[in-house]
């Protein structure tokens, strides 16, 4: 298993080591027709470190990056890490009040964001460094702003090198936020070695990222899934991160793959479905340059994967990770794809399936084929949640993390997702997995996507399916979908109500937001 020296910094591991290897001239970042080499990004990262130092930021203090997918994201990210600060990432489309709540929660010493977000936040109690961007490829985020908080001006005034203290591999480096599916998002505290460990065993060992890869992402860089696959992982091997800051619609993603000649696409099931829909509608969806596509963040219905495989010759490596473990620990991989499963354990991690009431990782595993809660052991496990020891004690057990996800494991070692342990519904005295019903609905030729939730009627729990379909919808189609589920699953699992929607609501990480669905 990979090990790392005591003196260790992620900015060195991902960026500055490429210069030491003689790869400073390789293209690190592309943004439209513009490009930056590793040497360019390194020079700017040093100046960001100097700008933050001049603003009074000290090692260990939090720097909140609230940026679109711009080139400045790369040097702000690595510059803060080189200084020894702790990076927290935020969505620039989040309402200002919610951003301010996170700033207060993590006690951010500085904020790096766009001028528009800076104006909306109107912070006067800590330094803000702003970049100019309209959120399009035509924007120039290296253009100085006529304002005192301009990041570009601060970088120009900073020295080319600043003195930085050496960092320990176990110093805090990046705090990743949970999706907030069970309440306010929590910050999972990670150290420098956590990210390097997963990069070695997953990005390099499992997927085989290469120096000639060009990477494009549907999820935005503030989401840990994409921070890994579209910034850290390509930088670790001297590859290229190709960015666009517009909304990742099917048309824009197809454009980015074609324009950049991408070889790796970080994707989510929703956009896989939208790309297929756009292709059927006559849009130009040419994915022939891709070596592989990734899928994570939500369950990938087997029927969707089958449609994808039938249209595109691009293997999809579906996997699962978490903010608590940084990234993927269970995955399909080159030459080993089991449709419908989340693959096998990534080398370097250990998994156990335990009863829901297990108090620790030493409990006896559930029998093969039965559903159990997934526990993960690996060197990328977070130290805990910031300012939440009670939840930390329930989730983290030394080297182990309790995921809260239900899985079964077959005799060949493949894992099959059954939903969240706290999301199962008891209908008529029988447990129902919403994920299982959703996958069944998505196998219907008219269904694009589906979400199943529980609703109460006269004190009893019933299932309601929210479904986006192709073509006109009516009561006859609703009855047809109910019959479709009855014919394929145990009869009691069929949705008692079917509600048609244009699209399912999603949170800022692209996951279906079931809290936003009407259940009254």
> Is 348 part of a structural domain of the chain?
no
Q: Evaluate if residue 136 carries a pLDDT over 70.
A: no
pLDDT tens digits for range 451-471: 999 888 777 788 999 999 999
pLDDT tens digits for range 356-395: 899 999 999 999 889 999 999 999 999 999 999 999 999 9
Tell me the average pLDDT across 161-173: 97
Read off the tokens for 317.
């490596």
> Is 477 part of a structural domain of the chain?
yes
> Is 285 part of a structural domain of the chain?
no
Write the burial class of residue 207 (CB in 10 Å: 0-12 exposed, 13-18 middle, 19+ buried): buried
Confidence of residue 180 (pLDDT cuts 50, 70, 90): low
Q: Evaluate if residue 127 carries a pLDDT over 90.
A: yes
Tell me the average pLDDT across 98-108: 96
**Chain mean pLDDT for the chain:** 93
> Is 502 part of a structural domain of the chain?
yes
Task: Say what the pLDDT of residue 435 is.
Answer: 86
Choose the weakest-confidence range: 36-45, 208-217, 218-227, 298-307: 298-307
Task: Say what the pLDDT of residue 179 is.
Answer: 73
> Is 137 part of a structural domain of the chain?
no
Q: In what order do the strands lie in the sheet with 447-457?
A: 447-457, 460-469, 497-500
pTM: 0.88
Find the angle CA(73)-CA(507)-CA(465) to the nearest 5 degrees: 155
Tell me the average pLDDT across 104-120: 97
How many domains does the chain contain in total? 1
34: left (phi over 0), alpha (psi -120 to 50) or beta: beta
Task: Say what the pLDDT of residue 97 is.
Answer: 94
Is 51 in a helix, a strand, or coil?
A: helix
CATH of the domain at 440: 3.30.300.30
pLDDT tens digits for range 327-353: 999 999 999 999 999 999 999 999 999
Instruction: Identify the domain containing residue 437 by its residue range.
Output: 425-516
Confidence of residue 71 (pLDDT cuts 50, 70, 90): very high
> Is 76 part of a structural domain of the chain?
no
Write the burial class of residue 357 (CB in 10 Å: 0-12 exposed, 13-18 middle, 19+ buried): exposed
> Is 64 part of a structural domain of the chain?
no
> Is 505 part of a structural domain of the chain?
yes
Contact by Cβ (8 Å): 488, 440: yes
Tell me the average pLDDT across 303-315: 95
Task: Say what the pLDDT of residue 138 is.
Answer: 62
Tell me the average pLDDT across 125-152: 82
Task: Residue 379: name the closest of 357, 351, 399 by CA.
Answer: 399
Distance CA 316, CA 276 (A): 14
Distance CA 259, CA 240 (A): 14
Find the angle CA(267)-CA(433)-CA(496) to the nearest 5 degrees: 110
Q: Which residue has better confidence, 430 or 135?
A: 430
Q: Which residues pair with 409 in a beta bridge?
A: 415
């Amino acid at each position: 298993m990979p090990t790392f020296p005591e003196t260790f910094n992620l900015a060195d591991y991902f960026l500055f080591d490429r210069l030491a290897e003689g790869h400073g001239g390789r293209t690190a970042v592309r943004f439209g027709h513009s490009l930056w080499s590793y040497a360019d990004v390194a020079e700017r990262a040093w100046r960001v470190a100097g700008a933050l130092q001049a603003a009074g930021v000290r090692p260990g203090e939090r720097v909140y990056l609230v940026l679109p997918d711009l080139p400045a994201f790369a040097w702000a990210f690595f510059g803060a890490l080189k200084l020894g600060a702790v990076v927290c990432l935020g969505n620039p489309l989040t309402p200002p009040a919610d951003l301010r709540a996170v700033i207060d929660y993590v006690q951010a010493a500085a904020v790096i964001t766009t001028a528009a977000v800076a104006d909306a936040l109107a912070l006067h109690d800590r330094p803000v460094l702003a970049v100019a961007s309209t959120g399009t490829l035509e924007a120039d985020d290296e253009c100085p702003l006529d304002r005192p908080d301009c990041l570009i001006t601060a970088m120009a005034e900073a020295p080319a090198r600043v003195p930085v203290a050496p960092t320990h591999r176990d110093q805090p480096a990046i705090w990743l936020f949970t999706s907030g599916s069970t309440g306010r998002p929590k910050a999972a505290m990670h150290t420098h070695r956590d990210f390097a460990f997963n990069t070695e065993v997953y990005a390099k060992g499992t997927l085989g990222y290469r120096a000639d890869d060009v990477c494009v992402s549907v999820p935005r860089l503030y989401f840990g899934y994409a921070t890994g696959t579209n910034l850290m992982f390509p930088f670790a091997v001297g590859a290229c991160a190709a960015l666009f800051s517009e909304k990742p619609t099917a048309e824009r993603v197809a454009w980015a793959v074609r324009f950049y000649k991408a070889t790796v696409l970080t994707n989510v099931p929703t956009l896989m479905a939208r790309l297929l829909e756009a292709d059927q509608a006559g849009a130009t969806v040419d994915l022939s340059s891709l070596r592989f596509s990734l899928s994570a963040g939500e369950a990938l219905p087997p029927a969707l994967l089958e449609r994808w495989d039938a249209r595109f010759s691009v293997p999809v490596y579906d996997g699962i990770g978490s903010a608590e473990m940084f990234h993927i620990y269970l995955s399909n991989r080159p030459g080993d794809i089991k449709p419908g499963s989340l693959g096998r354990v990534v080398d370097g991690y250990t998994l156990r399936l335990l009863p829901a009431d297990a108090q620790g990782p030493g409990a006896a595993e559930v029998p093969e084929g039965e559903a159990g809660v997934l526990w993960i052991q690996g060197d990328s496990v977070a130290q805990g949640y910031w300012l939440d020891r009670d939840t930390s004690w329930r989730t983290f057990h030394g080297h182990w993390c309790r995921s809260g996800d239900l899985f079964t494991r077959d005799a060949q070692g493949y894992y099959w997702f059954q939903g969240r342990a706290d999301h199962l519904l008891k209908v008529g005295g029988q447990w129902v997995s919403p994920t299982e019903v959703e996958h069944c609905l998505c196998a219907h030729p008219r269904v694009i996507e589906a979400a199943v939730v529980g609703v109460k009627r006269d004190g009893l729990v019933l299932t309601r399916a929210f479904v986006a379909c192709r073509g006109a919808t009516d009561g006859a189609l609703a009855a047809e979908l109910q019959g479709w589920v009855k014919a394929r699953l145990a009869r009691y699992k069929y949705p008692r109500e079917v509600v048609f929607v244009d699209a399912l609501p999603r949170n800022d990480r692209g996951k279906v937001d079931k809290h936003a669905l009407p259940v009254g």
